[in-house]
Amino acid sequence: MSSTHAKLDHAHHFNSADHEFAAGKIGMWLFLVTEIMLFSGLFVGYGIFHYIYPEMFREAHHELNKVLGSINTIVLLSSSLTMALAINAIQRDKPELAKKMLAFTFLCACTFLCIKFFEYSHKFHEGLLPGKFYSNTELKAPNAALFFSFYFVMTGIHGIHVLIGMACIAWIYIRVNRGDFDSHHYNAVEFVGLYWHIVDLVWIFLFPLLYLVV
Amino acid sequence: MEQNNKDHSPHHVTPVAVYVKVLLALLVLTILTVAVSYVDFGKANIFVSMGIATIKAALVMMFFMGLKYDTVLNRTIILSSFVAVALFLGLSASDLWTRPDIQPVKVAEVAATLTMDDIKKLEISTPELIAHGKEVFSVNCTPCHGANGEGNGASGAALNPKPRNFHGPISAWKNGTSTHSMFVTLAYGIAGGGMASYKSLPPADRFALIHFLHTWTPEIQTASAADSKYEAALKEDGIGAGSVAAKATMPVDFAISRMMAH
């Protein structure tokens, strides 16, 4: 039997495990609202300056690799599937399958960050850096550094969120391995899942804005 | 453990097939996102790309995040954040999209440095220059020299010697009343007195002021020590042979006229 039977079914201030789960979920959704607001500040800032300097944004964004950006999009979308499948596996009391799905999600996240590492390296090499560190001589627009300020801050903060997600996924993997969860007690898995989907969601918007300027 | 399929339970188990289909839809929409970026819809571009992204986001939220099977409260919570973002975007757009098209203006083109020919013209009094000079006087000079130029302005009360009474005896004028010497006075001020340098006034304004003051005080063309400094003063404004390039400051009236234009 899973070790959850040795633990309390739910914290004492909740009526039931289901109650605890539902309450935790509300809390998680409230946190995700703050994540949306965090990124929205960056998106609105981006929108304002893209509107003011459309030519510069168009020219500068060609320095980004659309293929790598598309691959990263596919990688993150797939990782959302495997994250959902991990929770599905726990819901059906299949911890071994859950571990496989969590591992695959983790690997997708690694792949995403590796690709970003290559992208960032290339930009460092070309002097396509934010603000005062900008040293590229190829781009014509004099204020192209502004685009790269947005690029690095937006993908950077997103990247930090990916890293945090990886840490959470690794922690959940360890806990699944320990037998901490079953089909009625998997709150942490669910909430980490929700967090991971938001990370994917932010990228869904970042990708066309940064990589696919018409 | 049997699957718990009741919709009001917090443990809705979505079939794996549904998840896979959602991913396939997301991948198709990603291909569409890239494809559509090669087509120019003009002003609609951003709406097209963000529209597709929103559909993808909706799929992720409804199915991967389980909102379709979740409580009204959770749906309301997350949708409220998108309403806030929409407000944030919409109000910013209502500012940006309603601004008139502003072309950057090169200050050097509009407020070009005067040549000696321009100076020769400015040295001759005209009704327009006098009228402009009156405005310049009322803005810059009345605090010390008084509304009527009698030297009785409030700011000048504490000065010693008192500000010049422009209706008084000409002999009291330190530098004399010739155009050149008055130009020098305005450029450098009076050493040891309260009269400051008015280099911030563009040369054209200074000439206008001088012509206006000559309606109160006649111009006596006697040579004075100040006259000899005239050429030097002009050079410092960037006018004339061998002049120092005028500092790249924006003339105040130019700045004001640009501000008022908007």
Domain chopping of chain A, boundaries: 14-211
CB contact under 8 A, B27 and A74: yes
Residues of A in contact with B85 (CB under 8 A): 36-37, 40, 43-44
Instruction: State the fold for domain A14-211.
Output: Four Helix Bundle (Hemerythrin (Met), subunit A) (1.20.120)
B174: nearest Cα among B224, B212, B215:
B224
Contacts of B221 (CB under 8 A, 6+ apart): B178
Q: Considering only the beta carbons, identify the residue of B10, B14, B96 that sits closest to A25.
A: B10
Q: Tell me if B212 sits within 8 A of B136, measured CB to CB.
A: yes
DSSP string, B236-255: HTT-STTPPPPPSPPPHHHH
Tell me which DSSP letter residue B115 carries. Answer: P
**CA distance to partner chain B, nearest, from residue A125 (Å):** 27
In sign, the C-alpha dihedral spanning A119, A125, A131, A133 is positive
CB contact under 8 A, B49 and A74: no
Per-residue pLDDT reduced to its tens digit, A49-103? 999 999 999 999 999 999 999 999 999 999 999 999 999 999 999 999 999 999 9
Mean pLDDT in chain B?
A: 85
What is the reported pTM? 0.68
Q: Does A209 touch chain B (CB under 8 A)?
A: yes
Cα–Cα distance for residue pair B110/B261, rounded to 1 Å: 14
A155: nearest Cα among A44, A77, A69, A80:
A69
Cα–Cα distance for residue pair A72/B53, rounded to 1 Å: 15
Assign domain B107-261 to a CATH class.
mainly alpha
Tell me if ipTM is over 0.85.
Answer: yes
> Residue ranges per domain, chain B?
16-96, 107-261
| Mutation target among A37, A76, A201 for the B interface, most CBs of B within 10 A | A201
Per-residue pLDDT reduced to its tens digit, B67-93? 999 999 999 999 999 999 999 999 999
Q: How many residues does the structure list for chain A?
A: 214
Name residue, tokens 């991990």.
Answer: A86
CB contact under 8 A, B96 and A21: no
Contacts of A171 (CB under 8 A, 6+ apart): A192
- Tell me the CA distances in angstroms from B195 to A77, B28, B163, B253, B260, one per residue in order: 74, 77, 7, 21, 30
How many A/B residue pairs have CB atoms within 8 Å?
Answer: 132
CB contact under 8 A, B78 and A43: no
Cα–Cα distance for residue pair B132/A191, rounded to 1 Å: 72
